[in-house]
Amino acid sequence: MKNILVVNINWLGDAVFSTPVFKALKENYPHARVTCLCVPRVKKVLEFCPFIDEIIICDEKKAHFWPWDKWALIADLRRRSFDIAFLLHRSTTRGLFVYLAGIPARVGYCKMKGLLTHPVDFKDEGIHRSDVYLKVLENFGLKIKDRSCHLNLKADCATQLTRILEDHGIAKNEKFIVCHTAGNWDLKRWPASYFVQLIETITERFSMKVVLSGALGDLEYCQSINQQANNKAIVLAGETSLGESLALYRRSQLLISSDSGPLHLAHSVGANVIGVFGPTRPEITGPRGIGRAEVLFKDVGCNKAACYHLSCLSNLCMQSITVDDVLKAIEKLSS
């Protein structure tokens, strides 16, 4: 039986994009034990990946900050006697970890290629992020049957969500649409005024309720949008755990979101999604899950490549996608 370690990346959306790697490993090595090394922020996501047997935390900001703590982690990896390590992360530190842990086969990305037995050239221009990670396996000769991202729901989370929805006046079989209005950086946010118009139109034209999702830090922003929409939406920001949020997305008619973690989480559990893209490119970070998807993107000149001009004042790329564009996408997914 193969004992495999995957050194994962550090961001929520990318963690979702890495899930086909774990499925492919199980398909190529049916009896393997697959362990993931990751930072704390993505552990909660990967716990919903059905193809991971164990998760090891690497926390260089806290638990593994000091050199002796790093040595303790390396010693732990060595004791586990992994046969292969697949590195999806380019970090030299992570490459050094698996090298010093004495793992015989070390495959993937690392800025210091000498630490690996099978280094892979990192080229991600125009390639979907998920394919960047799958390339590590392909270069090792493994076959990829399914490139879709997949997370599992948990029954207790779905049960708890039902209670939360009922507490907010949404009956068990009642239809609703979820809007995720926030984003990890402002440049990717669809204008708040557009969401206000959208909420009012959905409730009138489609006779469906609208739920505003998000973390606790998004609560004030969601409340502001809802107030401008005459409180026609139901604000659940900060009220649902990750598992309950996954159940919320799956239970909804569809999710509307910019290019953010919730978009990819929703699609990975089979929810239908509308992705509003502006500064980022759909071919690189578009939804790759198991639901249906409509991606809205307009080339406004300055977003021919992914744009990281975070101080941009016009945000033309997001403003160019109108409420009517989203309404048409809703009608298409509802047909």
* Residue 118 φ then ψ, to 5°: -135, 75
Q: Kindly state whether residues 185 and 112 are assigned to the same domain.
A: no
> How much is the average pLDDT of 1-10?
95
Residue scoring higher pLDDT (13 or 313): 13
If one counts every other C-beta atom within 10 angstroms of the C-beta of residue 280, the result is: 23
Angle at 177 between CA 174 and CA 180, to 5 degrees: 140
Q: Distance of alpha carbon 268 from its chain centroid, rounded?
A: 8
Are 222 and 85 part of one and the same domain? no
Average pLDDT over residues 297-326: 84
Co-location of 74 and 171 in the same domain: no
Per-residue DSSP letter, 206: I
Strand partners, 274: 256, 294
User: Would you say how long the chain is, in residues?
Assistant: 335
Average pLDDT over residues 239-250: 97
Averaged pLDDT, 44-71: 95
Q: How far is Cα 293 from Cα 308, in angstroms, rounded to an integer? A: 25
Residue 145 lies in a domain: no
**Which pLDDT value is given to residue 45?**
95
User: What average pLDDT does the segment 79-101 reach?
Assistant: 97
Exposure string (b/e) for 232-241, b if CB count within 10 Å is 16 or more?
ebbbbbebbe
Residue 238 lies in a domain: yes
Do both 7 and 127 map to the same domain? yes
Asked if 173 and 297 sit in the same domain, the reply is yes
Please give the torsion angle defined by the CA atoms of residues 109, 111, 113 and 117, in that order, rounded to the nearest 10 degrees: -30
160 within a domain of the structure (yes/no): yes
- pLDDT for res 308: 73
**150 in any annotated domain:** no
What is the pTM for the complete model shown?
0.94
Question: What is the rounded radius of gyration, in angstroms, for the C-alpha atoms of the chain?
Answer: 21
Same domain? 327 vs 282: yes
The domain in which residue 233 lies consists of 155-334
pLDDT tens track for 197-218: 999 999 999 999 999 999 999 9
Q: Determine, yes or no, domain membership for 173.
A: yes
Q: Is 92 part of any domain?
A: yes
The arithmetic mean of pLDDT across residues 166-185, rounded, is 93
For 46, the token pair is 């990967």
- Where does the pLDDT of residue 311 fall: very low under 50, low under 70, confident under 90, or very high at 90 and above? confident
pLDDT of 163 reads 97
- Whether residue 293 is contained in a domain is answered as yes
Q: 187 pLDDT band (50/70/90 cuts)?
A: confident
The domain boundary residue, chosen from 113, 138, 163: 138
> In whole angstroms, how far apart are CA 245 and each of 18, 19, 114, 224?
20, 18, 42, 21
Is residue 259 over pLDDT 90? yes
Neighbours of 179 (CB within 10 A): 25
Region 57-62: mean pLDDT is: 92
Residue where a domain terminates, one of 138, 166, 199: 138
Identity of the amino acid at 162: T
> Residue 147's pLDDT is what?
97
Check whether residue 327 and residue 187 sit in a common domain. yes
DSSP reduced 3-state for 233: strand
- 236: which residues sit within 8 A by CB, 6+ positions away? 164, 168, 211, 212, 213, 214, 248
Domain boundary among 111, 138, 165: 138
The maximal CA–CA distance of the chain, rounded, in angstroms, is: 63
The CATH number that applies at residue 264 is: 3.40.50.2000
Q: Is the pLDDT of residue 305 over 80?
A: no
- Let me know whether 214 and 265 are in one domain: yes
> Is the pLDDT reported for residue 18 higher than 80?
yes
Q: DSSP 3-state assignment of 293?
A: strand
Q: What pLDDT score was predicted for residue 274?
A: 98
From residue 306, alpha-carbon distances to 38, 278, 310, 313 in Å are 26, 9, 12, 17
Residue 10, pLDDT above cutoff 80: yes
107's CB contacts (< 8 A; 6+ apart) are 84, 85, 86, 87, 116, 117, 118, 120, 136, 139, 140
Domains held by the chain: number:
2
Residue 93 has pLDDT above 90, yes or no: yes
Band (pLDDT 50/70/90 cuts) for residue 79 is very high
Could you tell me which residue, 306 or 95, shows the higher pLDDT?
95
Specify whether 326 is located in the same domain as 235. Answer: yes
Q: Which of 45-59, 98-112, 128-142, 289-303 has the lowest mean pLDDT?
A: 289-303
Are 12 and 121 within one domain? yes
One domain for residues 225 and 125: no
Mean of per-residue pLDDT scores for the chain: 95
Statement to judge: residues 191 and 88 lie in one domain: no
